[in-house]
């Protein structure tokens, strides 16, 4: 049934008894052209683009739990394309353009809200770095504006301009940046992909790879039996090393915990997405009213999906330094996700050294905003066997060649990216 206000109104008359499942509950077939491991945003988007753009519909998405149970379901919902280095700039803009048409493509309201993203700066050096980045964006046809202090005051009069330790001097604004409802992105892709014939199989954990005599991957072993595949794509950020290890691969990736927080719902307070430049704090306000915020990773390798107090305190200190009006707003919930932290802070989308196995990994903090773009270029790679031009720099061998894409300039130390 097509979703619209009219179908809703009709359904209301029958007490909403006629709605169908948002996606089909599929049982695994023996063989698929493409099997995608990971029913998160990236895996489901990949399946949808395979079916809709490349006509490959004999596709399964395997999810060990419930779809969206990984980082797609525990992020801070920010979308933006304000990257400064070749490789990232074009890719994230491709993703942004796909965000802009997602809801109409999928017939699902993912609440894509282009409310603007402001990165605040507090020093001349930071301003210069943002100027460099903003100019890169503009040269790539992406919207960017450098705000001075007056403009920031006008846009966000509630910041601490009076007695801040590191006074705000201005900001880099991307008006097209914003937020999207993370779970709805997952459900929207599942809904649309399923309608095109993609099998979405939940509670199906991959336990190993099936290889032929030449070592080529020809399928996967799962908790629901063996499933054959022409090609296998991995989109399991957070667990990339664990899954790759089943194929004998070691990756330039570490798993780290990133915490996020939400406050009690309050009436609208923040108009946009904001990052503090003198501490670890970024924030937006959800449509439901909660302040959704986060900061730095805890800094140690972890698969525990929970963090510790020092980072929670650090993040709230940043929040209070920037906006002392949130002091009496209460923190409601704290959670943690596993980040695939790569060695240069940028993702990997490439064929793996193992024939038949394709990688989509290393998203660091960029995973959610990359969702549609990642699905698009990964589908291209799986369909055509060559990288999409906007993902051509995300090759696995870039580390070996020395062609890192290191926005933060921190080198091979993942916890600093």
Residues 314-373 that bind another protein (CB under 8 A): 315-317, 319-321, 324-335, 343
Distance of CA 137 to CAs 142, 176, 335, Å?
5, 12, 33
Is position 208 an interface residue for another protein (rule: CB under 8 A)?
A: no
Is position 223 an interface residue for another protein (rule: CB under 8 A)?
A: no
- Structure-token match 């990257």, residue found: 83
Among 82, 263, 360, 374, interactor with another protein by CB under 8 A: 263
Among 223, 264, 384, 385, interactor with another protein by CB under 8 A: 264
Is position 154 an interface residue for another protein (rule: CB under 8 A)?
A: no
- Structure-token match 């063996």, residue found: 226
Among 215, 228, 289, 353, interactor with another protein by CB under 8 A: 289
Q: Which is nearer to another protein, 238 or 356 (CB)?
A: 238
Q: Which is nearer to another protein, 102 or 229 (CB)?
A: 102
d(CA 173, CA 116): 7
Among 54, 97, 160, 196, interactor with another protein by CB under 8 A: 160
Phi, psi of 397 (to 5 degrees): -80, 5
d(CA 189, CA 106): 7
In whole angstroms, how close is the CB of 101 to another protein at the nearest point? 8
Confirm if 406 and 343 have CB atoms less than 8 A apart. Answer: no
d(CA 34, CA 220): 11
Query: Exposed (0-12), middle (13-18) or buried (19+): which is 8, by Cβ within 10 Å?
Result: exposed
Is position 20 an interface residue for another protein (rule: CB under 8 A)?
A: yes
Confirm if 318 and 162 have CB atoms less than 8 A apart. Answer: no
Distance of CA 34 to CAs 61, 131, 358, Å?
9, 43, 10
Task: Choose one: 216-224, 225-233, 354-362, 401-409; the region binding another protein (CB under 8 A).
Answer: 401-409
Q: Which of residues 295-314 bind another protein (CB under 8 A)?
A: 299-306, 308-310, 312-313
Task: Choose one: 53-61, 132-140, 354-362, 376-384; the region binding another protein (CB under 8 A).
Answer: 132-140
Is position 199 an interface residue for another protein (rule: CB under 8 A)?
A: no
Among 55, 154, 213, 267, interactor with another protein by CB under 8 A: 267
d(CA 67, CA 89): 29
Task: Choose one: 7-15, 217-225, 346-354, 367-375; the region binding another protein (CB under 8 A).
Answer: 7-15
Is position 207 an interface residue for another protein (rule: CB under 8 A)?
A: no
d(CA 261, CA 77): 12
Q: Which is nearer to another protein, 9 or 213 (CB)?
A: 9
């Amino acid at each position: 049934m097509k979703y619209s206000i009219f179908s809703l109104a009709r359904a209301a008359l029958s007490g909403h008894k006629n709605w169908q499942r948002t996606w089909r509950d599929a049982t695994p077939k023996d063989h698929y052209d493409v099997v995608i491991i990971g029913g998160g945003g990236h895996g489901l988007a990949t399946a949808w683009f395979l079916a809709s753009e490349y006509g490959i519909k004999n596709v399964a998405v395997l999810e060990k739990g419930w779809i969206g149970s990984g980082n797609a379901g525990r992020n801070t919902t920010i979308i933006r394309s304000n990257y400064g280095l070749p490789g990232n700039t074009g890719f994230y803009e491709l993703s942004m353009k796909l965000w802009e048409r997602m809801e109409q493509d999928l017939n699902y309201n993912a609440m894509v809200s282009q409310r603007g993203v402001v990165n605040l700066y507090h020093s001349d050096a930071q301003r210069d770095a943002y100027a460099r980045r903003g100019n890169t964006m503009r040269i790539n046809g992406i919207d960017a504006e450098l705000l001075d202090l007056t403009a920031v005051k006008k846009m966000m009069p509630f910041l601490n301009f009076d007695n801040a330790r590191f006074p705000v001097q201005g900001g880099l604004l991307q008006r097209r940046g914003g937020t999207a409802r993370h779970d709805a992105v997952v459900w929207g892709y599942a809904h649309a992909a399923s309608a095109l014939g993609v099998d979405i199989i939940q509670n199906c954990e991959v336990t190993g790879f099936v290889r032929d005599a030449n070592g080529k991957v020809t399928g996967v072993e799962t908790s629901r039996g063996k499933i054959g595949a022409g090609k296998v794509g991995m989109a399991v950020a957070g667990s990339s090393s664990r899954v790759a290890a089943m194929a004998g691969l070691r990756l330039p990736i570490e798993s780290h915990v990133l915490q996020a927080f939400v406050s009690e719902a309050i009436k609208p307070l923040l108009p946009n997405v904001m990052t503090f430049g003198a501490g670890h704090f970024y924030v937006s306000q959800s449509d439901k009213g909660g302040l959704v915020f986060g900061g730095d990773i805890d800094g140690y390798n972890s698969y525990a999906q929970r963090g510790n107090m020092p980072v929670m305190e650090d993040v709230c200190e940043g929040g209070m330094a920037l906006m002392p009006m949130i002091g009496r707003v209460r923190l409601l919930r704290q959670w943690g996700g596993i980040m695939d932290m790569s060695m240069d802070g940028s993702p990997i989308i490439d064929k793996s050294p193992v024939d038949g196995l394709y990688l989509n990994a290393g998203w660091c903090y960029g995973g959610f905003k990359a969702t549609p773009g990642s699905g698009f270029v990964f589908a291209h790679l799986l369909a055509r066997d060559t990288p999409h031009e906007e993902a051509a720099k995300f090759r696995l061998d870039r580390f070996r060649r020395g062609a890192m894409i290191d926005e933060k300039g921190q080198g091979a130390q993942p916890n600093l990216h």
